[in-house]
Structure 1
């Protein structure tokens, strides 16, 4: 117990993350607060490199009146919860960690901080060295519906108090974490193809009575898995075990094709003619380009980007660079901006964000700092759909200072 009580806050948090959000769970997403990305903790104690690596990626996410140490989305096992979760979506989970520092371990403060987050989160925990948690702490946590996790020196965790899952409103900043945990997030899963036609063809192949993979490979693209994954990210299909079903949006794509062509075979033959074309899709196939515009606009990030680019245009910045855009967006939507644009690895987030979550501009000028799915594939699709003026570039070929993010058809102020 004495050894556990000496654990520092970053170490407590790293052990907690490994238990609540195991790396092999691909359907979850979690970030640690940017304060843990620095080299030293309180009392000038260094944060071990393996602890920093375990806590990455970092972001500064406001929930309630403050910034939780850990925030993520995951379906928790029954051992962590007092009752079953509510609804079909996995809960938004926050953790406040407390560790040893001069004056002891302030577990009660952690409980109160975790309770404050319940206005916007579904589940809140306090995590602390097991030997520092008292009976009084546990009583207070039960009264406030805060879970209590006791961390031992070897990293094992005991669930001392199990919280109930609560329903609540989700603020915009926490919504960004939900976005990353969804099938449409850019973390770990992404658009691997940069042309919307590859995704529009997937519902047609699934609606056909022949093997959909063979049809896609023959008429559309050899990277069949990438096409199917992208169709899911765009909300055209849902995965159901080993099979797929069309969403309402995907069904509308099939209806459109059957209005344009006598049969699905004829529609797929048209896609074959478009292979390897460098021409903007809106110009190559105008009606399909309009459909692509509608589908791409359904992607959660698109409306945010278009809205803010229009506002920038209204303020006299009609053709902003990538650096201009990210700097602007971060002022309005900080969490979403970091998750959408900046790579999640430890090095990029640590260098790009201060402990208070502010951006360091020099890092934004490096192409390698950015998510390829956003600056290359998503931007290319927005170009093909006639939304942006320029196509995307791979981060290795990207100069963020000159990479243009302008709207093709900005509205005038008077409209």
Structure 2
């Protein structure tokens, strides 16, 4: 049993399970609990660097009444589920892992109970454990409670012992941070690329125009056409779901605004030539178009959270909080979202900044390199041009978090 115990500790079981459940797909995003980002496991056994690399990124996400070992969004293969009808959205998955302890035991039944609790918010819940440590009683309990059971073999393969059913989407709060990252608008592995929002609101005009979209953008708006197209998708202005660029309802509203304000698309696109290479605040030099940008970015899922957080800061006496102060404040309100929006996802950063319980280490927040560029640089610059915040963003390499100001332009005193 000692050999099994050393080979299939809980962190190793979880790493094997992540490899099995979460393949490299566009609709997938997953985090492991911050306890696995620490140097040692609960019994003081070191957690191998390769295991941590597999489990990264880390966050402390509350689902149900506790914190799953693994939580993510992924379209699951049919062999993992008792039914293959999944609905339109990939399910939110919670995983509880158990490994061999020092005395050679596996507390599988407790893992089933923990996984069942997660179904208050998750769509699918699994227990994963060494296969030889999963009793018949644990499997029976899991079957009755609609908890999936995965058995990890010594060679690292993962067997599906019990298949769960997908339950309906319930009300979510903390887990919605993971759903956001798995969506087309999540900031996990992508960013806006261009800092000026004019480059994005021009895209629907070029798409709706009879001319070639890329040529129109390159001629009238910006040379970095790919960045403009990617950002427009990010802001839900255009969609590529059918293999070609089409306008979303929000994108059609941008076109209607241009036709109503300027008269025709050619004249509207020529307006963008005047704004090329301008560093002036967009809402000041083009107030109507700036208000349009404000309308567009207000639909971006993270905007409401950030603006409400800044408003609460102001209300509580922090009129012009630094980035460090704002992240600390927002983390107290929405810890999971704050981590996903502001902290880089690699294991080294989250090991430095987060404790095993998911709390922040303030001293590490003063280092600009720990921050996620799409939020502190590109998104903040867009908010600045839209008249939402008072200061433009800065690249993490040039960022002084204790001096970087995050404040609303119109705080509503």
Shared fold (TM-score, shorter chain, > 0.5): yes
Q: Map of 1:268-287 to 2, 5 A cutoff? A: 268-287=269-288
Q: Distance in 1 between matches of 2:405 and 2:44?
A: 43
Matched residue of 1:393: which SS?
coil
Q: Distance in 1 between matches of 2:281 and 2:191?
A: 22
1:267 to partner: Cα distance? 0.8
Deviations 1:321-378 (A, max 9, x none): 0000000000000000000000000011011000000000011101001010000000
Q: 1:42 to 1:311 in 2, by over 3 A?
A: closer
Q: Distance in 1 between matches of 2:250 and 2:9?
A: 50
Q: Distance in 2 between matches of 1:299 and 1:395?
A: 22
Q: Distance in 2 between matches of 1:354 and 1:139?
A: 36
1:203–1:254: 8 Å Cα contact kept in structure 2?
yes
Deviations 1:87-124 (A, max 9, x none): 20100001000001034000111110000000100000
How well do the aligned residues superpose, as a CA RMSD in angstroms? 1.3
Matched residue of 1:173: which SS?
coil
1:121–1:170: 8 Å Cα contact kept in structure 2?
no
Matched residue of 2:329: which SS?
helix
Tell me the equivalent position of 1:88.
88
2:108–2:133: 8 Å Cα contact kept in structure 1?
yes
Matched residue of 1:44: which SS?
coil
Tell me the equivalent position of 1:137.
138
Tell me the equivalent position of 1:188.
189
2:311–2:411: 8 Å Cα contact kept in structure 1?
yes
Matched residue of 2:96: which SS?
strand
Instruction: Point out 4+ residue stretches in structure 1 off by more than 3 angstroms.
Output: 1-6
User: Which runs of no fewer than 5 residues in structure 2 stay unpaired?
Assistant: none
Matched residue of 1:71: which SS?
strand
Deviations 1:142-174 (A, max 9, x none): 000000111112211111111000013132100
1:44 to partner: Cα distance? 1.9
Tell me the equivalent position of 2:51.
51
TM-score (ref. length: structure 1):
0.97
Q: Distance in 1 between matches of 2:61 and 2:237?
A: 30
Tell me the equivalent position of 1:351.
352
1:86–1:167: 8 Å Cα contact kept in structure 2?
no
1:244 to partner: Cα distance? 2.1
Matched residue of 2:240: which SS?
strand
Q: Map of 1:8-407 to 2, 5 A cutoff? A: 8-22=9-23, 24-103=24-103, 104-407=105-408
1:43 to partner: Cα distance? 2.5
1:262 to partner: Cα distance? 2.7
Q: How many residues of Structure 1 are paired with residues of Structure 2 in the alignment?
A: 411
Further displaced range: 38-47 or 383-392:
38-47
Matched residue of 2:95: which SS?
strand
Further displaced range: 302-311 or 283-292:
302-311
1:119–1:168: 8 Å Cα contact kept in structure 2?
no
Matched residue of 2:174: which SS?
helix
Deviations 1:197-226 (A, max 9, x none): 011011111101112112111111122121
